[in-house]
Amino acid sequence: MNTTLTPAPAYIADRDGTDRDSTNRSESDHQAGVDELCEIARSYLDTDEVGDIRRAYVFGAEAHDGQHRASGEPYINHPLQVARILAQMRLDYQVIIAAILHDVIEDTEMAKEQVADQFGEDVAELVDGVSKLTQIRFSTKAEANAEYFRKMLMAMARDIRVMLIKLADRLHNMRTLNALRAEKRRQIARETLDIYAPIANRLGVNSIRHELEDLGFRALYPQRYRVLSEEVRRARGHRKQVLDNITRAIGRRMTDDGLNGEVKGREKNLYSLYRKMASKGLSFLEVMDIYAFRIVVETADLCYRVLGSVHSLYKPVPFRFKDYIAIPKANGYQSLHTVLAGPFGVPIEVQIRTREMHAVAEAGVAAHWRYKMGEAHTNTASTRAREWVQDLLEMQQTAGDSLEFIEHVKVDLFPDEVYVFTPAGEIFRLPAGATPVDFAYAVHTDVGNTCIAVKIDRRYAPLSAQLSSGQTIEVVTAPWAKPSGNWLNFVVTGKARANIRNQLKSLRQGEATELGERLLSQALAAESKGLNELDEVGMTKVLEELAIPSYSALLEEIGWGRQLAPLVVRRMYPVKAEAVADEEARLEPGAPRTAKQPLFIRGTDGMLVVLGKCCHPIPGDPIVSFVSRGRGIVVHRRGCNNMNEHTGEPYKWLDVQWEAELDSDFPVEIRVHVENRKGILATVAATISKEETNIENVQITDRDGLITTLTFLIDVRGRKHLADVMRKLRNIPLLTRLERARN
């Protein structure tokens, strides 16, 4: 292969934040790694395809030459291991090649065109779908991450294999997380548990999901993981005899009934145990007191016959049976679930499924690309995944920006489900807590937009009612109806939320234009001018500078708070150069303030005013503000780090000050570092409440098992009120440190 490479730096940033430094690893180790990969691939791929995989390794090794990970190993080992994970799932050769090359576009001098030339357009599209957006600058890291996820999810909409590569990439990064510093490990683990494990669950890839959850749990809560794993290990010995006895009893009953199948005791992963203990307030012994079994048979008919067999052996617990064969889960999972009262009253959980259902339960949508008699086959998981992807595409079209889109997606990643019916008997799967409005949008966007009432089981019910499995839902529509902003208070699906917001924006455009005209008129009046005196040349210049297509669009931007009328007028009628220089110096952060009358936060000509959530300014704080597109005037505490991003845009800065009398509460964040003792949270919360202070939110972070950090979001009237609260907190004996949080 004749490819000229520009030497890459020996230390660069990994996609997930993994650092790379320099050290050496022998070439023979990598050769053994690619030999093992090809041996796995050879068991189900053609010889020519295996040859292309080996050629991709050579291409990738050249591209990553000189790059190392924080563990010290050459970087090429990472894509090799990602490819190995996917080969063990028996995915097609294009996915294996794309896994080997998944970082070459982002982290080396290789271009997408070079990948396409060597391995085809399909592989190049897969690699590009996994790559980050490296050529676009974003104002915040959150926005950059959100746009990256949006790009990746949209690439998944074109080819769902993109997400399988990303999941395998994240899995190997989680396996090698120990090379990073503790803070970075926790950050990546939190992202894994919040985003990647739920996506793996949504696609039905449970083999990856369970390992991601356990690795994320171990990295995020190492002490809890260690204690729980030790308890499980101790309990396993005591449980073995009970498990063996129940397994033999079920096996004998199935044999007596002439049924063939494989019976195995199963264990929940540690993270599932931890979540069950945390969510239901159970002790470890209460969770481990449940014995779980899986029975795998050949056909769906046998599943139901085995169900009857085990029900005749042990009594079923009422209301604890679920038929996921007739009604599969949203990710395509199929199985019969039942809970039995076993010997001596021991609870027994039993799952009954076919071999094909078991394969889908482990591989999910990945099973679509598995080779069966030389051909790939479809399954329920791939069908469900395509339906989810279609919903993603619709949300993408209606979402305002990347952050809003990711917010909608995350809502859909945690779907404890309810199953409801249309009057015609069609089944719809919805997240727990879904309402008739969510159901209406699930049926069709137009049904949701024109919904005016609903019947649940033939009786009228509120649109905010929470649905339960088995109900029949009938939506009443009217062509003149429009969505209500109040619906956003109770809908739970991302599709409903995105469509409601999009419709509300359309309805309010006329109102925004009217408000913008009034605000511009007021700003012109301050300069002793009127709307009828607008200079056409000056207006054209302003529209060009602001990249706004028309005068009416400008009025709409002003009405929405995306442009400030006084600043538009300033652009339209510029002052002399000396005055401009003086004004820019006055607006520069940290510059001395003039006696010019500043804007007040309240009553600023109807403009939208937002207090920065990064620093939570409160009355009495020295403050500054700037004009933000889409948010209006954003007020920050003087010295807030987020203001540094706008130092080069003095025309956006404004003088602001608090009104003399404000009868309102303002949120502020404080961090209370205390010794980890029983009842300390209640003590701190009670102390805060005694100062007539409302607690909006509290977050608990264990630092080392001895000290706990309690981060409270509380409402105060101003700096004096906050000082009173903090003075009382300092009297708590177990307090080690107290501070007002900064961004």
pLDDT in tens, 38-71: 999 898 888 899 999 999 999 988 888 888 887 7
Catalytic residue status for 107: yes
- pLDDT higher than threshold 90 for residue 436: yes
pLDDT, tens digit (0-9, with 9 covering 90-100), for 561-571:
667 777 787 77
Q: In whole angstroms, what is the distance from residue 62 CA to residue 7 CA?
A: 10
Structure-model confidence comparison of residues 232 and 97, the more confident one: 97
Reported confidence tier of residue 551, pLDDT bands at 50, 70, 90: confident
Structure-model confidence comparison of residues 448 and 160, the more confident one: 448
Q: What is the mean pLDDT of residues 594-618?
A: 60
Q: What is the mean pLDDT of residues 176-192?
A: 86
pTM of the model: 0.53
pLDDT, tens digit (0-9, with 9 covering 90-100), for 348-372:
889 999 988 887 777 766 665 543 3
pLDDT of the residue at 153: 62
pLDDT of the residue at 312: 92
pLDDT of the residue at 18: 42
Q: In whole angstroms, what is the distance from residue 677 CA to residue 683 CA?
A: 10
Lowest mean pLDDT among 311-315, 375-379, 717-721: 375-379
pLDDT, tens digit (0-9, with 9 covering 90-100), for 93-105:
899 999 999 888 8
Reported confidence tier of residue 134, pLDDT bands at 50, 70, 90: very low
Q: What is the mean pLDDT of residues 151-172?
A: 78
Domains observed in the chain: 27-220 (1.10.3210.10), 223-376 (3.30.460.10), 666-740 (3.30.70.260)
Single out the catalytic residue among 52, 107, 128, 556.
107
Q: Confirm if 557 and 543 have CB atoms less than 8 A apart.
A: no
Lowest mean pLDDT among 194-203, 390-399, 405-414: 405-414
pLDDT of the residue at 577: 40
Q: What is the mean pLDDT of residues 469-476?
A: 86
Q: Taking all residues of the chain, what is their mean pLDDT, rounded to a whole number?
A: 77
pLDDT of the residue at 602: 45
Reported confidence tier of residue 288, pLDDT bands at 50, 70, 90: low
pLDDT, tens digit (0-9, with 9 covering 90-100), for 566-605:
778 777 776 544 444 444 444 343 333 333 344 445 444 4
pLDDT of the residue at 89: 86
The values of phi and psi at residue 281, to 5°, are 65, 35
Catalytic residue status for 106: yes
pLDDT, tens digit (0-9, with 9 covering 90-100), for 629-665:
555 678 888 878 777 666 655 546 666 677 767 777 8
Q: What is the CA radius of gyration of the chain?
A: 30
Q: How far is CA 477 from CA 422, 440, 472, 721, in A?
A: 15, 10, 16, 51
Q: In whole angstroms, what is the distance from residue 78 CA to residue 168 CA?
A: 10
pLDDT of the residue at 608: 61
The values of phi and psi at residue 425, to 5°, are 95, 5
The dihedral through the CA atoms of 299, 361, 158, 125 has a sign that is: negative
Reported confidence tier of residue 20, pLDDT bands at 50, 70, 90: very low
What percentage of the chain exceeds 90 in pLDDT?
A: 17
pLDDT, tens digit (0-9, with 9 covering 90-100), for 481-519:
888 777 877 888 878 888 887 777 776 677 777 777 877
Enclosing H/E stretch for 556: helix 551-560
pLDDT, tens digit (0-9, with 9 covering 90-100), for 401-433:
555 555 555 555 545 677 788 888 777 878 778
- For residue 1, give every residue at least 6 positions away whose Cβ sits within 8 Å of its Cβ, in sequence order, or none: 55, 58, 59, 62, 118
User: What residues are paired with 695 via a beta bridge?
Assistant: 714
Q: How far is CA 478 from CA 436, 453, 626, in A?
A: 15, 9, 44
Q: How far apart are the first and last CA of the chain?
A: 50
Reported confidence tier of residue 560, pLDDT bands at 50, 70, 90: low
User: What residues are paired with 675 via a beta bridge?
Assistant: 707
Lowest mean pLDDT among 17-31, 245-259, 276-290, 446-460: 17-31
Q: What is the mean pLDDT of residues 381-397?
A: 60
- Name the token pair of 622: 């020295």
Single out the catalytic residue among 14, 16, 92, 106.
106
Of residues 320, 352, 318, the one with CA closest to residue 335? 352
pLDDT of the residue at 423: 86
Neighbours of 480 (CB within 10 A): 7
